Structure 1
Amino acid sequence: MDDIKMTELLKERFRIEMEKQDRGGVYALTQRKMAYNSNRIEGSTLTEKQTASIFETGTIRADGSVFRTKDVEEMTGHFTMFNYMLDTCEEILSQRLIKEYHYRLKAGVFEDIANGYPIGEYKNRRNMVSNIMTSTPENVEEDMKVLLEDYNSKEPHSLKDLAEFHARFEKIHPFQDGNGRTGRMILFKECLRSCVMPFIIGNDRKAEYYECLNKAQQNEDYEPLIRYFGQEQERYVEMVKDFIVPVVKK
């Protein structure tokens, strides 16, 4: 089965299972895996089992472990953002849509609200990521406009286009917090829209992900990031292939 056919079947399964609130198929598997890995990359203390419990029952079993309420709030926000992404995956990427994703991730996070972080809006304070100087708050709007104009002029998009967009988006770092999770959700959305097999960036390969991303941002060397995305595609295909079967129309 080629990537286009497989991606179309995947989108169909996502729509059906989300509508039916199916917790046993590829939609639920992807929700749990992506939320766990993307949040864990950013320092979440929740385990994969706890993530699954939040998604499936809305609860966490009290086993003596200590976890941050922020982690739970961001995990539920990620589930909401994923659902909204599926509802909008065929839309052309825009600043409005990106802000909507961020809003759904962060709207229920008390710590961010208490700190005065803009929710669903661009940052109002300067921030840094490792050795990368990100866009200043006053330049974010224009930098995002240029990025999206460049990206949207290239349709249909390839894995190379996605790697370039992701590196530039994360270098702009438009939000006060939640840039990585929003950026990785955009990658998944754009894969679905372009019928490129989507992927989940695994926490177990976080160091390699950051290394490849840094090379792309510092030297405009995108090949390592493209290869990395391809490897993560292979892992995702292996995980979901048995869940994807043609839907029989009645």
Structure 2
Amino acid sequence: MNIIVEKMTNEYIDDLLVRAAHHSTAIEGNTLTLGDTISILIHNYIPKGMTEREYYEVKNYKKAFELLLKADRVISTDLIKNYHRYIMENLREDNGEFKKIQNIILGSVIETTKPYLVPTVIEDWCQNLEYRLNNAKTDEEKIEAILDQHIKFEKIHPFGDGNGRTGRLLIIHSCLKENLAPILIPKEEKGKYINFLTSENIKEFVKWGIELENKEKERIELFHNKEKEEK
């Protein structure tokens, strides 16, 4: 029984959608406010003065989230490609396709996976994540598996663009399917997050991940209690 998912009200799911879209795109440089994001995703209203790119960066989360909520527990290569397809719709012509040209991570000395190796390496990544989650005995071990695999995913950098957004969606996917509250990386702590990725400091990353997961659990509870009171 997935207690976390059962406690997630429709209002909380909307709240999660808005915050995931806002924080994840802001980490990548999107300047839209949380209010703008709510207008676009919840009220289908387009605030004035935004670029087409910033609009689609946020809007695309709607379809990606619909997929996430109904997707199978196990992450496959096809699922990863589909997340990317939705996240990068109207932003790149190669959305949903692995990179064809070698890419680089800004400010990092890490060499990303060569394009011809990506399909095999991603297949291995999926199998490793599934194995680690199947064998995790505690929530902490699950969080460690999810975040360690996130670091590995970002090092692979399988797409031409949108790797961070896709990778952070995969974190939320794994959390929800493993009966954990979703771990959302806050835009205000982008520096800490990037440092954990580049230094591969999994111990501190996990400690932070547990804090974020606990905070989100409290938020789910608040929305759950609110709905009970309103009935």
Q: State TM-score, norm by structure 1.
A: 0.82
Does structure 1 conserve the Cα–Cα contact (< 8 Å) formed by 2:172 and 2:182?
yes
In the aligned structure 1, how far is the partner of 2:44 from the partner of 2:203? 40
Amino acid at match of 1:223: K
Specify the alignment match of 1:45 in structure 2: 31
Matches within 5 A, 1:1-250: 6-11=3-8, 13=9, 17=10, 25-62=11-48, 66-88=49-71, 90-109=72-91, 112-113=92-93, 118-129=94-105, 130-131=107-108, 132-156=110-134, 157=136, 158-216=142-200, 221-245=201-225
- Contact 2:101–2:160 (CA<8 Å) still a contact in 1? yes
> What's the Cα RMSD here?
1.9
Q: C-alpha displacement at 1:234, in angstroms?
A: 2.7
Give the letter for the 1:10 counterpart: K
Equivalent AA in structure 1 for residue 29 of structure 2: G
Alignment partners' CA distance in 2, 1:104 and 1:85: 11
Q: Distance in 1 between matches of 2:2 and 2:79?
A: 26
Is the Cα contact below 8 Å between 2:83 and 2:166 reproduced in 1? Answer: yes
**1:144 alignment partner AA:** I
Q: 1:230 to 1:77 in 2, by over 3 A?
A: same
Separation in structure 2 between the aligned mates of residue 151 and residue 101 of structure 1, nearest angstrom: 17
Q: Which amino acid aligns with 2:115?
A: P
- For residues 106 and 125 of structure 1, the distance between their equivalents in structure 2, rounded to whole angstroms, comes to 17
Identity of aligned residues (%): 25
Alpha-carbon offset, residue 5 of structure 1:
6.2
Mind listing any 5+ residue stretches in structure 1 that lack a counterpart?
18-24
- Secondary structure of 1:123's counterpart equals coil
CA contact (8 A) 1:45 1:68 kept: no
AA at the equivalent of 2:214: E
Q: Write the distance in 2 (CA, Å) between the matches of 1:237 and 1:174.
A: 31
Letter in 1 for 2:172: F
Q: Deviations over 1:69-112 (max 9, x none)?
A: 11111111112101111010x33111011101111111222xx2
Partner residue in 2 for 1:22: none
For residues 174-214 of structure 1, what are the alpha-carbon distances to aligned partners after superposition, in whole Å with 9 as ceiling and x for unaligned? Answer: 01111111111111111111112222110011100111111
1:20 aligns with: none
| Distance (Å, rounded) in 1 between the aligned partners of 2:4 and 2:58 | 25
Q: How many residues align?
A: 219
Q: Deviations over 1:104-137 (max 9, x none)?
A: 111222xx22xxxx21010111111121211111
Counterpart CA distance in 1 for 2:191 and 2:118 is: 27
Contact 2:41 2:59 in 1 (8 A): yes
User: CA offset at residue 224 of structure 1?
Assistant: 1.3
Cα distance between partner residues in 2 of 1:224 and 1:193: 23
Contact 1:107 1:119 in 2 (8 A): yes
Give yes or no for contact 2:68–2:173 (8 Å, CA) kept in 1.
yes
